[in-house]
Amino acid sequence: MATNLNSRLRIKNPTPRELARYAAGIVAVSLLVAMGILKLIFPNSLPWWFILIIPVVGYVIGLITFTEVLETYIYRKIKLIYKTIRRSKMDPGEKASKVDLDSNIIDDVEKEVETWAASRSNEFDELKKLAEYRRDFMGDISHELKTPIFNIQGYLHTLLDGGLEDGRINYAYLKKAAKNVERLHNIVQDLESITRMENDVADLDIDDFSIMNLVNQIFEENSIKADEKGIKLRYKQGAEKDFRVLADREKIAQVLVNLISNSIKYGKPGGLTQIGIYDMDKVILIEVADNGIGIDEEHLSRVFDRFYRVDKSRSRDQGGTGLGLSIVKHIVEAHQQTINVRSTKDRGSTFGFTLEKAG
């Protein structure tokens, strides 16, 4: 039963060589019937051996002819399909491979076309996402640059219109203009830094160092800011063991400065920033946790995007370029490591990243 079913399926969907055999067989049978009828009408016209050999010769010639025709026809069609799919020509001197007539060529090509179509669909979806991201990015950067430029323009025009002679405002306005120029400079520098890392020009200076010593240094540098808000900087209990890591010390310092500074900026007065250091076998996990304002779940997937701000007005009041977390992500990924965030609104946020363990 199974053999009959397989046989039926093969007939319904034959390979090119099987199709050539079927066609040659039809020719041979037709010749045999025609020669038999001729023998019946004219009994003495042809000998029996001739009647029997003609269908055999017809089968052989038909098989050769049909095979050659199918091979040439299918080869050209398949070659055209592959050229369309791959949009490329063969290199000079490269010969096209022969078609395997014993394989189910049509099914193979159909599968490849389906794979190609799915790949193209994914490419189109990705291009749409990139186009949308580019539009958002251009809008964000225009907005970020427009604010300090507008401020500088206003201060300078005020000074030129007579404010320069007014001792009550001239120095204050020049100071404010300089502050906005510095903000523009920082935006350009951060953009340049991100561009270099996106182009795999990270210039990492990998070294073996103590991660706890680096954290202590960053704690000390941010102690004044933390004291102003009454925020305590400390290690998480049970996660204060020191480890040596392999990384670019200066760039990891930049990561920690950004994460700890953010925990202070967006922390609640009298709050807490904790560092946890965990041994994850081949890597070390460093977590920076606070009990501050937290981040809504809808924003978590975009916190590392360039210029993305959860609370735009409040973020600008706190200073910064809006590129800090994006730079952090690029630095960590340049080390072939990962960074993630988890957060709950009004309960705080935890940023965690990994580094390769030394030794």
What predicted TM-score, i.e. pTM, was given to this entire model? 0.57
Residue 244 and residue 122 in one domain? no
Q: Are residues 177 and 210 in the same domain?
A: no
Average pLDDT value for residue range 131-144: 68
Q: Which of 102-111, 264-273, 294-303 shows the highest mean pLDDT?
A: 264-273
The pLDDT value given to residue 139: 66
Amino acid 80: pLDDT: 63
Task: Give the range of the structural domain holding residue 250, as residue numbers without chain letter.
Answer: 206-357
87 band by pLDDT with thresholds 50, 70 and 90? low
Residue bearing the bigger pLDDT, 124 or 288: 288
Rounded Cα gap, residues 309 and 196, in angstroms: 23
| Model confidence band, residue 90 (pLDDT cutoffs 50, 70, 90) | very low
Pairing type for strands 339-344 and 244-248 reads: unpaired
* Residues 256 and 287 grouped into a single domain: yes
Contact 155, 176 (CB under 8 A): yes
Q: Of 186-190, 197-201, 212-216, which range is least confident?
A: 197-201
Domain boundary among 53, 73, 103: 103
Q: How many CA atoms lie within 13 A of 195 on its CB side?
A: 6
CATH no. for residue 232?
A: 3.30.565.10
Same domain, residue pair 82 and 173:
no
| pLDDT at residue 112 is higher than 50 | yes
Distance between CA 358 and CA 284 in Å, rounded? 9
Residue with tokens 């690029």: 330
Q: 187 and 77 in one domain?
A: no
Look up residue 301 and give its amino acid.
S
Per mean pLDDT, which of 72-76, 192-196, 306-310, 328-332 is the most reliable? 328-332
Pairing type for strands 272-280 and 232-235 reads parallel
Confidence of residue 314 (pLDDT cuts 50, 70, 90): very low
Six-digit token string for 165 = 């002679």
pLDDT tens for residues 317-359?
555 567 888 889 989 998 999 999 999 888 899 999 999 998 7
Residues 214 and 350 both lie in one domain: yes
Section 163-170 average pLDDT:
83
Same-domain status, 301 and 316? yes
Cα pseudo-dihedral 116, 121, 122, 127, rounded to 10: 120
DSSP 308-328: --SSHHHHHHT---S-HHHHH
Q: Are residues 152 and 279 in the same domain?
A: no
Same domain, yes or no: 193 and 210: no
Q: What is the mean pLDDT of the chain?
A: 79
Report the length, in residues, of the chain.
359
Share of the chain above pLDDT 90, in %: 26
Answer yes or no: is pLDDT of 293 > 50.
yes
Q: What is the mean pLDDT of residues 43-67?
A: 79
Task: Report the pLDDT averaged over residues 82-111.
Answer: 55
**Mean pLDDT throughout 88-109?**
53
Give the side-chain half-sphere CA count within 13 A for 59: 12
2 pLDDT tier (thresholds 50, 70, 90):
very low
Confidence of residue 273 (pLDDT cuts 50, 70, 90): very high
Task: Give me the pLDDT at residue 276, please.
Answer: 94
Q: CA separation (Å) from 169 to 155, 156, 178, 179, 318? A: 10, 11, 14, 15, 24
Least confident of 63-67, 104-108, 146-150, 313-317: 313-317
Residues 216 and 348 in one domain: yes
Q: Which of the residue ranges 51-55, 96-100, 189-193, 250-254 would you say has the lowest mean pLDDT? A: 96-100
Q: Tell me, yes or no, whether 278 and 349 share the same domain.
A: yes
Q: Cα–Cα distance between 38 and 83 in angstroms, integer?
A: 51
Q: How many CB atoms lie within 10 A of CB 52?
A: 12
Tally of domains in the chain = 3
Instruction: Give the integer Cα–Cα distance in Å for 267 and 290.
Output: 7
Does residue 131 share a domain with residue 60?
Answer: no
Q: What is the pLDDT of residue 114?
A: 74
Domain end call among 42, 74, 103: 103
Does the structure show a pLDDT above 70 at 186?
A: yes
* 78 pLDDT tier (thresholds 50, 70, 90): low
Domain termination residue (choose one: 198, 227, 260): 198
